[in-house]
Structure 1
Amino acid sequence: MKETFLAMMRRKALTTKFKALDGVSFTINEGEAVALLGFNGSGKSTTLKMISGVLRPDSGQVLTRGRVAGLIEVGAGFHPDLSGRENVFLNAAILGMTRKETEDRFDDIVAFSEIEQFIDTEVKHYSSGMFLRLAFSVAIHTEVDVLLIDEILSVGDEPFQQKCIARIRQLHAEGKTLVVVSHDLNMVSDLCERGILLRDGRVEFDGESKAAVQLMRA
Protein backbone atom coordinates (compact mmCIF):
# COMPACT_ATOMS: atom_id res chain seq x y z
CA MET A 1 0.00 0.00 0.00
CA LYS A 2 2.86 2.35 0.82
CA GLU A 3 4.50 1.77 -2.57
CA THR A 4 1.17 2.32 -4.34
CA PHE A 5 0.55 5.57 -2.47
CA LEU A 6 4.06 6.88 -3.20
CA ALA A 7 3.68 5.96 -6.88
CA MET A 8 0.39 7.88 -7.04
CA MET A 9 1.96 10.91 -5.37
CA ARG A 10 4.87 10.86 -7.80
CA ARG A 11 2.49 10.21 -10.70
CA LYS A 12 4.26 7.03 -11.66
CA ALA A 13 2.55 4.12 -13.39
CA LEU A 14 0.95 1.77 -10.88
CA THR A 15 1.27 -1.27 -13.11
CA THR A 16 3.45 -2.45 -15.97
CA LYS A 17 2.80 -5.01 -18.67
CA PHE A 18 5.09 -7.93 -19.34
CA LYS A 19 4.44 -10.74 -21.81
CA ALA A 20 5.82 -13.87 -20.13
CA LEU A 21 4.82 -16.10 -23.05
CA ASP A 22 4.23 -15.12 -26.66
CA GLY A 23 2.52 -17.52 -29.03
CA VAL A 24 3.71 -20.67 -27.27
CA SER A 25 1.99 -23.75 -28.65
CA PHE A 26 2.78 -27.46 -28.33
CA THR A 27 1.12 -30.81 -27.73
CA ILE A 28 2.36 -33.39 -25.22
CA ASN A 29 1.13 -36.90 -25.83
CA GLU A 30 0.10 -39.38 -23.16
CA GLY A 31 3.09 -41.11 -21.57
CA GLU A 32 5.71 -38.65 -22.84
CA ALA A 33 8.49 -37.26 -20.64
CA VAL A 34 9.17 -33.69 -21.74
CA ALA A 35 11.76 -31.22 -20.44
CA LEU A 36 11.02 -27.49 -20.55
CA LEU A 37 14.39 -25.82 -21.03
CA GLY A 38 15.54 -22.22 -21.07
CA PHE A 39 17.41 -19.60 -19.11
CA ASN A 40 15.86 -17.69 -16.20
CA GLY A 41 12.91 -15.60 -17.34
CA SER A 42 12.29 -17.66 -20.48
CA GLY A 43 8.77 -18.69 -19.38
CA LYS A 44 9.31 -22.26 -18.12
CA SER A 45 7.66 -21.94 -14.71
CA THR A 46 4.85 -19.81 -16.15
CA THR A 47 4.14 -22.57 -18.65
CA LEU A 48 4.02 -25.19 -15.89
CA LYS A 49 1.69 -23.06 -13.79
CA MET A 50 -0.69 -22.67 -16.73
CA ILE A 51 -0.70 -26.41 -17.35
CA SER A 52 -1.45 -26.98 -13.65
CA GLY A 53 -4.25 -24.41 -13.67
CA VAL A 54 -2.57 -22.05 -11.19
CA LEU A 55 -2.44 -19.39 -13.92
CA ARG A 56 -4.76 -18.76 -16.85
CA PRO A 57 -3.56 -17.47 -20.21
CA ASP A 58 -4.72 -14.02 -21.33
CA SER A 59 -5.42 -15.51 -24.75
CA GLY A 60 -5.50 -19.00 -26.20
CA GLN A 61 -6.22 -22.07 -24.11
CA VAL A 62 -4.54 -24.90 -22.22
CA LEU A 63 -6.19 -28.30 -22.51
CA THR A 64 -5.34 -31.21 -20.21
CA ARG A 65 -6.72 -34.71 -19.88
CA GLY A 66 -6.75 -36.71 -16.65
CA ARG A 67 -5.57 -35.76 -13.18
CA VAL A 68 -2.73 -33.24 -13.13
CA ALA A 69 -0.47 -32.76 -10.10
CA GLY A 70 2.31 -30.22 -9.87
CA LEU A 71 5.51 -30.40 -7.84
CA ILE A 72 5.78 -26.66 -8.32
CA GLU A 73 5.54 -25.23 -4.83
CA VAL A 74 5.97 -28.33 -2.71
CA GLY A 75 4.39 -28.09 0.71
CA ALA A 76 2.38 -24.96 -0.11
CA GLY A 77 -0.66 -26.52 1.56
CA PHE A 78 1.13 -27.62 4.74
CA HIS A 79 -0.01 -26.09 8.05
CA PRO A 80 2.79 -25.56 10.60
CA ASP A 81 0.56 -26.23 13.65
CA LEU A 82 -0.57 -29.63 12.38
CA SER A 83 1.41 -32.84 12.74
CA GLY A 84 3.13 -34.53 9.83
CA ARG A 85 0.36 -37.15 9.80
CA GLU A 86 -2.39 -34.53 9.62
CA ASN A 87 -0.53 -32.62 6.93
CA VAL A 88 -0.21 -35.75 4.80
CA PHE A 89 -4.01 -36.01 4.65
CA LEU A 90 -4.45 -32.26 4.20
CA ASN A 91 -1.92 -31.94 1.39
CA ALA A 92 -3.10 -35.11 -0.34
CA ALA A 93 -6.64 -33.72 -0.37
CA ILE A 94 -5.36 -30.47 -1.91
CA LEU A 95 -3.63 -32.55 -4.59
CA GLY A 96 -6.93 -34.27 -5.38
CA MET A 97 -6.64 -37.57 -3.51
CA THR A 98 -9.55 -39.08 -1.62
CA ARG A 99 -9.18 -40.03 2.03
CA LYS A 100 -9.29 -43.72 1.04
CA GLU A 101 -6.48 -43.22 -1.49
CA THR A 102 -4.40 -41.43 1.13
CA GLU A 103 -5.00 -44.12 3.74
CA ASP A 104 -3.96 -46.81 1.25
CA ARG A 105 -0.71 -44.94 0.46
CA PHE A 106 0.01 -43.49 3.90
CA ASP A 107 2.61 -46.08 4.98
CA ASP A 108 4.44 -45.77 1.65
CA ILE A 109 4.42 -41.96 1.89
CA VAL A 110 5.92 -41.99 5.38
CA ALA A 111 8.46 -44.69 4.55
CA PHE A 112 9.61 -42.79 1.45
CA SER A 113 10.07 -39.59 3.47
CA GLU A 114 12.25 -41.42 6.03
CA ILE A 115 10.82 -39.42 8.94
CA GLU A 116 8.67 -42.13 10.54
CA GLN A 117 9.63 -41.25 14.12
CA PHE A 118 8.57 -37.62 13.66
CA ILE A 119 5.31 -38.18 11.77
CA ASP A 120 3.18 -37.14 14.79
CA THR A 121 5.31 -34.06 15.53
CA GLU A 122 4.04 -30.63 14.52
CA VAL A 123 5.53 -29.60 11.20
CA LYS A 124 6.74 -26.27 12.61
CA HIS A 125 9.37 -28.25 14.52
CA TYR A 126 10.69 -29.93 11.35
CA SER A 127 13.95 -28.95 9.73
CA SER A 128 13.64 -27.65 6.16
CA GLY A 129 14.98 -30.98 4.89
CA MET A 130 12.39 -33.00 6.83
CA PHE A 131 9.61 -30.73 5.62
CA LEU A 132 10.62 -31.06 1.98
CA ARG A 133 11.03 -34.84 2.26
CA LEU A 134 7.49 -35.27 3.55
CA ALA A 135 5.97 -32.75 1.13
CA PHE A 136 7.71 -34.34 -1.85
CA SER A 137 6.73 -37.81 -0.70
CA VAL A 138 3.05 -36.84 -0.54
CA ALA A 139 3.16 -35.33 -4.01
CA ILE A 140 5.05 -38.20 -5.60
CA HIS A 141 2.54 -40.74 -4.28
CA THR A 142 -0.47 -38.88 -5.65
CA GLU A 143 -2.57 -40.81 -8.15
CA VAL A 144 -1.96 -38.73 -11.28
CA ASP A 145 -1.97 -38.94 -15.06
CA VAL A 146 0.25 -35.89 -15.61
CA LEU A 147 3.08 -34.94 -13.23
CA LEU A 148 4.62 -31.46 -13.38
CA ILE A 149 8.04 -31.02 -11.75
CA ASP A 150 9.72 -27.64 -11.23
CA GLU A 151 13.27 -27.68 -9.81
CA ILE A 152 12.19 -29.84 -6.91
CA LEU A 153 14.86 -32.47 -7.55
CA SER A 154 17.39 -30.10 -6.04
CA VAL A 155 15.98 -30.64 -2.53
CA GLY A 156 17.44 -32.96 0.06
CA ASP A 157 20.76 -34.76 0.11
CA GLU A 158 22.09 -36.75 -2.83
CA PRO A 159 20.76 -40.19 -1.75
CA PHE A 160 17.26 -38.73 -1.37
CA GLN A 161 17.54 -36.97 -4.74
CA GLN A 162 18.49 -40.26 -6.38
CA LYS A 163 15.53 -41.97 -4.73
CA CYS A 164 13.22 -39.23 -6.01
CA ILE A 165 14.57 -39.58 -9.54
CA ALA A 166 14.13 -43.36 -9.36
CA ARG A 167 10.51 -42.88 -8.26
CA ILE A 168 9.88 -40.46 -11.14
CA ARG A 169 11.38 -42.97 -13.58
CA GLN A 170 9.05 -45.60 -12.17
CA LEU A 171 6.03 -43.36 -12.71
CA HIS A 172 7.11 -42.74 -16.30
CA ALA A 173 7.55 -46.48 -16.84
CA GLU A 174 3.97 -46.91 -15.61
CA GLY A 175 2.79 -44.63 -18.41
CA LYS A 176 2.49 -41.33 -16.56
CA THR A 177 3.11 -38.13 -18.50
CA LEU A 178 5.98 -36.00 -17.16
CA VAL A 179 6.75 -32.33 -17.74
CA VAL A 180 10.03 -31.37 -16.06
CA VAL A 181 11.77 -28.04 -15.45
CA SER A 182 15.30 -28.21 -14.07
CA HIS A 183 18.66 -26.48 -14.51
CA ASP A 184 20.33 -29.89 -14.25
CA LEU A 185 20.65 -30.36 -18.00
CA ASN A 186 22.34 -33.75 -17.78
CA MET A 187 19.56 -35.10 -15.60
CA VAL A 188 16.68 -33.84 -17.74
CA SER A 189 18.27 -34.98 -20.99
CA ASP A 190 18.61 -38.45 -19.48
CA LEU A 191 15.17 -38.49 -17.85
CA CYS A 192 13.22 -36.96 -20.76
CA GLU A 193 13.22 -38.02 -24.38
CA ARG A 194 11.84 -34.70 -25.65
CA GLY A 195 12.96 -31.14 -24.96
CA ILE A 196 11.15 -27.86 -25.57
CA LEU A 197 13.54 -24.89 -25.49
CA LEU A 198 11.98 -21.54 -24.58
CA ARG A 199 13.71 -18.24 -25.16
CA ASP A 200 12.13 -14.87 -24.31
CA GLY A 201 8.70 -16.48 -24.01
CA ARG A 202 8.78 -18.22 -27.39
CA VAL A 203 9.44 -21.80 -28.47
CA GLU A 204 12.87 -21.88 -30.10
CA PHE A 205 13.22 -25.65 -30.43
CA ASP A 206 11.00 -28.69 -29.93
CA GLY A 207 12.60 -32.07 -30.46
CA GLU A 208 14.97 -34.65 -29.02
CA SER A 209 16.04 -33.66 -25.50
CA LYS A 210 19.79 -34.08 -26.02
CA ALA A 211 19.62 -31.84 -29.10
CA ALA A 212 17.69 -29.24 -27.08
CA VAL A 213 20.37 -29.32 -24.36
CA GLN A 214 23.16 -28.93 -26.94
CA LEU A 215 21.36 -25.97 -28.49
CA MET A 216 20.93 -24.33 -25.08
CA ARG A 217 24.63 -24.82 -24.29
CA ALA A 218 25.72 -23.42 -27.66
Structure 2
Amino acid sequence: MYFSPLPSVQSTLSNASFALRFDMDSFEQQDFETHGLSFPAKLDKAVPKRRAEYLAGRICAQHALSMVGVNDFQVHAGQDRAPIWPKNVLGAITHSKGLAMAVVIGASAHKGIGLDIEHFMSDKREHDLQKHLLCDQEQAQFKLLSHVFSHPLTLVFSAKESIFKALYPSVNAFFGFEAAALIEFNDTQLRFEITKSLSDLVPKGTQVTVHYQQFENWLLTECYV
Protein backbone atom coordinates (compact mmCIF):
# COMPACT_ATOMS: atom_id res chain seq x y z
CA MET A 1 0.00 0.00 0.00
CA TYR A 2 1.34 3.38 -0.99
CA PHE A 3 1.44 6.07 1.67
CA SER A 4 3.17 9.40 2.22
CA PRO A 5 3.75 11.21 5.52
CA LEU A 6 1.99 14.51 6.20
CA PRO A 7 4.50 16.44 8.34
CA SER A 8 2.39 19.60 8.10
CA VAL A 9 -0.39 17.94 10.13
CA GLN A 10 0.70 18.07 13.76
CA SER A 11 -1.00 17.62 17.11
CA THR A 12 -1.39 20.71 19.26
CA LEU A 13 -1.43 18.58 22.43
CA SER A 14 1.65 16.40 21.97
CA ASN A 15 5.01 16.37 20.23
CA ALA A 16 4.48 12.69 19.46
CA SER A 17 2.09 12.52 16.53
CA PHE A 18 2.27 11.13 13.01
CA ALA A 19 -0.07 11.59 10.05
CA LEU A 20 -0.05 10.06 6.59
CA ARG A 21 -2.02 9.95 3.38
CA PHE A 22 -2.60 6.43 2.04
CA ASP A 23 -3.97 4.87 -1.13
CA MET A 24 -6.59 2.27 -0.25
CA ASP A 25 -6.74 0.97 -3.82
CA SER A 26 -3.08 -0.12 -3.67
CA PHE A 27 -3.55 -2.18 -0.49
CA GLU A 28 -2.39 -5.80 -0.57
CA GLN A 29 -2.64 -8.33 2.23
CA GLN A 30 1.13 -8.73 2.37
CA ASP A 31 1.43 -5.06 3.39
CA PHE A 32 0.96 -6.11 7.01
CA GLU A 33 4.07 -8.29 6.83
CA THR A 34 5.96 -5.61 4.92
CA HIS A 35 5.45 -3.19 7.79
CA GLY A 36 6.16 -5.76 10.49
CA LEU A 37 2.58 -5.86 11.73
CA SER A 38 0.55 -8.96 12.47
CA PHE A 39 -2.84 -9.29 10.84
CA PRO A 40 -5.63 -9.45 13.47
CA ALA A 41 -7.98 -12.40 13.20
CA LYS A 42 -10.97 -10.13 13.81
CA LEU A 43 -10.36 -8.60 10.36
CA ASP A 44 -10.62 -11.97 8.57
CA LYS A 45 -14.02 -11.04 7.13
CA ALA A 46 -13.32 -7.32 6.75
CA VAL A 47 -13.35 -5.69 3.32
CA PRO A 48 -10.00 -4.45 1.91
CA LYS A 49 -10.93 -0.83 2.73
CA ARG A 50 -11.28 -1.65 6.44
CA ARG A 51 -8.01 -3.62 6.41
CA ALA A 52 -6.19 -0.72 4.74
CA GLU A 53 -7.53 1.78 7.30
CA TYR A 54 -6.49 -0.45 10.18
CA LEU A 55 -3.01 -0.86 8.74
CA ALA A 56 -2.57 2.86 8.10
CA GLY A 57 -3.63 3.69 11.65
CA ARG A 58 -1.18 1.17 13.13
CA ILE A 59 1.67 2.49 10.98
CA CYS A 60 0.94 5.94 12.41
CA ALA A 61 0.83 4.49 15.93
CA GLN A 62 4.24 2.85 15.49
CA HIS A 63 5.80 6.12 14.34
CA ALA A 64 4.19 8.11 17.18
CA LEU A 65 5.30 5.55 19.78
CA SER A 66 8.87 5.63 18.49
CA MET A 67 8.91 9.37 19.25
CA VAL A 68 8.48 8.60 22.96
CA GLY A 69 11.05 5.79 22.92
CA VAL A 70 8.67 2.86 22.54
CA ASN A 71 9.75 0.55 19.74
CA ASP A 72 8.65 -2.89 18.53
CA PHE A 73 5.21 -2.53 20.13
CA GLN A 74 2.08 -3.40 18.16
CA VAL A 75 -1.11 -1.59 19.10
CA HIS A 76 -3.73 -4.32 19.00
CA ALA A 77 -7.46 -3.80 19.53
CA GLY A 78 -9.43 -5.06 22.49
CA GLN A 79 -12.81 -6.76 22.37
CA ASP A 80 -14.40 -3.31 22.41
CA ARG A 81 -12.21 -2.33 19.41
CA ALA A 82 -10.37 0.26 21.50
CA PRO A 83 -6.58 0.32 20.87
CA ILE A 84 -4.42 -1.27 23.57
CA TRP A 85 -1.44 0.99 24.33
CA PRO A 86 1.78 0.27 26.25
CA LYS A 87 1.86 0.82 29.99
CA ASN A 88 2.20 4.49 30.97
CA VAL A 89 1.21 5.68 27.49
CA LEU A 90 -2.10 7.10 26.29
CA GLY A 91 -2.86 7.28 22.60
CA ALA A 92 -5.51 7.69 19.93
CA ILE A 93 -5.84 6.73 16.28
CA THR A 94 -8.07 8.16 13.58
CA HIS A 95 -8.57 7.66 9.85
CA SER A 96 -10.90 9.09 7.22
CA LYS A 97 -10.98 8.81 3.44
CA GLY A 98 -7.30 8.11 2.84
CA LEU A 99 -5.85 10.00 5.80
CA ALA A 100 -4.69 8.48 9.08
CA MET A 101 -3.10 9.86 12.23
CA ALA A 102 -2.02 8.76 15.69
CA VAL A 103 -0.99 10.71 18.78
CA VAL A 104 0.51 9.56 22.09
CA ILE A 105 1.20 11.22 25.46
CA GLY A 106 2.43 10.07 28.84
CA ALA A 107 -0.30 8.66 31.04
CA SER A 108 0.88 10.21 34.30
CA ALA A 109 -1.01 13.50 34.01
CA HIS A 110 -4.10 12.42 32.05
CA LYS A 111 -6.79 9.74 31.96
CA GLY A 112 -7.44 9.74 28.22
CA ILE A 113 -6.77 11.44 24.91
CA GLY A 114 -9.05 11.80 21.90
CA LEU A 115 -8.27 12.45 18.24
CA ASP A 116 -10.44 12.65 15.13
CA ILE A 117 -10.01 13.60 11.47
CA GLU A 118 -13.08 14.33 9.34
CA HIS A 119 -13.58 15.40 5.74
CA PHE A 120 -16.12 18.22 5.41
CA MET A 121 -19.68 16.96 5.11
CA SER A 122 -21.89 18.26 2.33
CA ASP A 123 -24.39 20.98 3.26
CA LYS A 124 -27.24 18.52 2.82
CA ARG A 125 -25.66 15.95 5.10
CA GLU A 126 -24.99 18.59 7.74
CA HIS A 127 -28.65 19.62 7.60
CA ASP A 128 -29.95 16.04 7.71
CA LEU A 129 -27.79 14.99 10.67
CA GLN A 130 -28.39 17.96 12.96
CA LYS A 131 -31.25 16.32 14.83
CA HIS A 132 -29.10 13.25 15.51
CA LEU A 133 -25.93 15.02 16.64
CA LEU A 134 -27.16 18.06 18.56
CA CYS A 135 -29.06 18.35 21.84
CA ASP A 136 -31.41 21.17 22.84
CA GLN A 137 -28.87 22.59 25.29
CA GLU A 138 -26.39 23.48 22.53
CA GLN A 139 -28.69 24.85 19.85
CA ALA A 140 -27.94 28.50 20.65
CA GLN A 141 -24.16 28.02 20.60
CA PHE A 142 -24.37 25.96 17.44
CA LYS A 143 -26.27 28.76 15.71
CA LEU A 144 -23.50 31.19 16.66
CA LEU A 145 -20.87 28.73 15.42
CA SER A 146 -22.67 28.39 12.08
CA HIS A 147 -22.23 32.13 11.51
CA VAL A 148 -18.44 31.95 11.71
CA PHE A 149 -17.55 28.43 10.51
CA SER A 150 -18.44 27.01 7.10
CA HIS A 151 -19.07 23.42 8.24
CA PRO A 152 -20.23 23.69 11.84
CA LEU A 153 -21.79 20.24 12.16
CA THR A 154 -18.68 18.52 10.84
CA LEU A 155 -16.73 20.36 13.52
CA VAL A 156 -19.11 19.47 16.35
CA PHE A 157 -19.33 15.85 15.17
CA SER A 158 -15.55 15.53 15.07
CA ALA A 159 -15.19 17.17 18.48
CA LYS A 160 -17.68 14.76 20.03
CA GLU A 161 -15.84 11.82 18.48
CA SER A 162 -12.64 13.06 20.14
CA ILE A 163 -14.46 13.47 23.46
CA PHE A 164 -15.78 9.90 23.23
CA LYS A 165 -12.27 8.52 22.73
CA ALA A 166 -10.80 10.61 25.54
CA LEU A 167 -13.51 9.70 28.06
CA TYR A 168 -13.90 6.03 27.15
CA PRO A 169 -11.17 4.77 29.53
CA SER A 170 -13.01 6.52 32.40
CA VAL A 171 -16.48 5.35 31.34
CA ASN A 172 -15.91 1.93 29.73
CA ALA A 173 -19.23 2.17 27.95
CA PHE A 174 -20.65 3.70 24.79
CA PHE A 175 -22.61 6.93 25.09
CA GLY A 176 -24.51 9.08 22.62
CA PHE A 177 -23.88 12.47 21.09
CA GLU A 178 -26.42 14.02 23.46
CA ALA A 179 -24.05 13.37 26.37
CA ALA A 180 -21.87 16.37 25.43
CA ALA A 181 -23.16 19.88 24.70
CA LEU A 182 -21.26 22.76 23.12
CA ILE A 183 -21.18 25.70 25.55
CA GLU A 184 -18.59 28.07 24.03
CA PHE A 185 -15.96 28.33 21.30
CA ASN A 186 -13.23 30.49 19.80
CA ASP A 187 -10.95 30.32 16.74
CA THR A 188 -9.03 27.24 17.95
CA GLN A 189 -11.08 25.61 20.71
CA LEU A 190 -14.53 24.31 21.54
CA ARG A 191 -15.75 23.78 25.08
CA PHE A 192 -18.31 21.11 25.94
CA GLU A 193 -20.20 20.16 29.07
CA ILE A 194 -21.21 16.61 29.91
CA THR A 195 -25.01 16.59 30.21
CA LYS A 196 -25.44 13.47 32.37
CA SER A 197 -23.35 11.37 34.72
CA LEU A 198 -21.34 8.85 32.69
CA SER A 199 -19.36 7.32 35.57
CA ASP A 200 -17.94 8.24 38.98
CA LEU A 201 -14.97 9.75 37.15
CA VAL A 202 -17.13 11.67 34.67
CA PRO A 203 -20.06 13.26 36.53
CA LYS A 204 -22.66 15.54 34.99
CA GLY A 205 -21.21 19.01 34.50
CA THR A 206 -17.71 17.84 33.59
CA GLN A 207 -16.20 20.21 31.02
CA VAL A 208 -13.88 19.23 28.18
CA THR A 209 -11.92 21.55 25.90
CA VAL A 210 -11.44 20.35 22.31
CA HIS A 211 -8.71 21.87 20.14
CA TYR A 212 -9.35 22.07 16.41
CA GLN A 213 -7.55 22.97 13.23
CA GLN A 214 -8.44 22.98 9.54
CA PHE A 215 -6.29 21.84 6.61
CA GLU A 216 -7.46 21.53 3.02
CA ASN A 217 -11.05 20.25 3.29
CA TRP A 218 -10.39 18.42 6.54
CA LEU A 219 -10.82 19.01 10.25
CA LEU A 220 -8.61 17.71 13.03
CA THR A 221 -9.94 17.75 16.59
CA GLU A 222 -8.22 16.54 19.75
CA CYS A 223 -8.62 16.70 23.52
CA TYR A 224 -7.40 15.10 26.69
CA VAL A 225 -8.95 14.66 30.12
**TM-score under structure 2 length normalisation:** 0.27
Q: Which structure dedicates a bigger proportion of its chain to strand?
A: 2
Report which of the two structures shows the higher radius of gyration computed on alpha carbons.
Answer: 1
Ranked by relative contact order (alpha carbons within 8 Å, sequence separation 6 or more), the top structure is 1
